[in-house]
Amino acid sequence: MDGSLPGSSFSVRVAREQDFDAVGALLAELGGGRPALPDVGPARDAVRRVFERHLARHAARQGLCLVAEREGRAIGFLSADVRERLNQATPEVWIADLIVAERARSGGVGKALLTRAVAFAAEIGAHRVSLESGHWRKDAHRFYRREGWEDVALHFSRRP
C-alpha cells in the first residue's frame, strides 16, 4: 500500500517507528482535549510503545497505520483497527485517528487516506468502515459527507 497517487504532490506510505514525533504533532492538531506527546520520560516511552503496537497490528493486517507526506514531511496520518462485532461474521475496520495538517487540507490527502482504509476493508472482507469525529470538527464532517460517509450514531464516553 505504499506509493504515490497519480498526479498528487504527496505520497501515502506505511507508518514507521521514526514517524512517532511527526504523528504526535499531527494528532495534537486535532484539539478537543487531546494531550500533546510528553517531552521525555516514562510517559513518552509508554506512548511510543502504543504507537509501535499500532505498527505491529498493521504488519499483521489487524490494523492500518499510514502516513501521508510531502517533501519528506508528514502531512497526514490514519490509524485503524480491525475489530469483531458479535452480530457480524465479518470484521469492521474502525478508523481511530485521521488527521490532515491544517496547511495541507483540501488537497486530497484526507481522501487518499480514506480511500486506502476502504480498500483495506474490502481486501479483508470487512462489512463496514467506521470512524468518530468530535462535534466541533464541522469542516471534517462536511468532508466525510462529501466523500459519501453517513452520520449513523452518537458516541458517548466517560472516565472510569
pTM of the shown model:
0.88
- Domain enclosing residue 118, as ranges: 9-146
Is 51 part of any domain?
Answer: yes
Over residues 18-77, the pLDDT tens digits come to 999 999 888 888 776 677 777 778 888 898 999 999 999 888 889 899 999 999 999 999
Domain count within the chain: 1
- DSSP element (H, E) containing 99: strand 92-100
Is 2 part of any domain?
Answer: no
Is 157 part of any domain?
Answer: no
Is 87 part of any domain?
Answer: yes
Residues 6+ apart with CB under 8 A from 72: none
Over residues 83-133, the pLDDT tens digits come to 999 999 999 999 999 999 999 999 999 999 999 999 999 999 999 999 988
Rounded Cα–Cα distance for residues 116 and 92 (Å): 15
For residue 109, what is the domain's CATH number?
A: 3.40.630.30
Is 113 part of any domain?
Answer: yes
Is 156 part of any domain?
Answer: no
